[in-house]
Structure formats: structure tokens, C-alpha cells
Amino acid sequence: MKVIYDKESDTLSLILKESLVEESDEAKDGIIFDYDAQGNLVSVEILNASERITQPEALEFQLAH
């Protein structure tokens, strides 16, 4: 999984799987789900991230046991 925050466009991207995007769906205003040809979710894009997320440029990663 890859997390990318683009400060210039204020977009946070969560890339779950490196795959070609076949279809995109704006689930809510500014929240976009991207799907591959088989209909699997491959990424999530959050537009205007700084308005929706506290410190989008910061990242904390945890593994649950």
C-alpha cells in the first residue's frame, strides 16, 4: 500500500494495489474510489484533504496483532 499527499493539489491518495484504473466513482463529494477491470478497489483519492484530515502530510502506521 502506498500513501501520497500532494500539497500543491491538496489531494491524499491511498493506493491499495498497483493496477490500471478502469472506473472511478465519486462516492461522496471529493471522495473518489478507483476500480480495476475486475471491479476491485485499487485506490481512494481524497480531494481538499487539508479540510477533511488533520495533518494530511503526517502519517502514522500500525500493524494490529
Q: Could you tell me which of 2, 1, 7 has the C-alpha nearest to residue 53?
A: 7
The reported pTM is 0.85
- Strand partners for 6: 11
Q: Which pLDDT value is given to residue 60? A: 81
Model confidence over 6-50: pLDDT tens digits?
999 999 999 999 999 999 999 999 999 999 999 999 999 999 999
| Residue 50 CB-half CA count within 13 A | 6
Q: Which pLDDT value is given to residue 59? A: 79
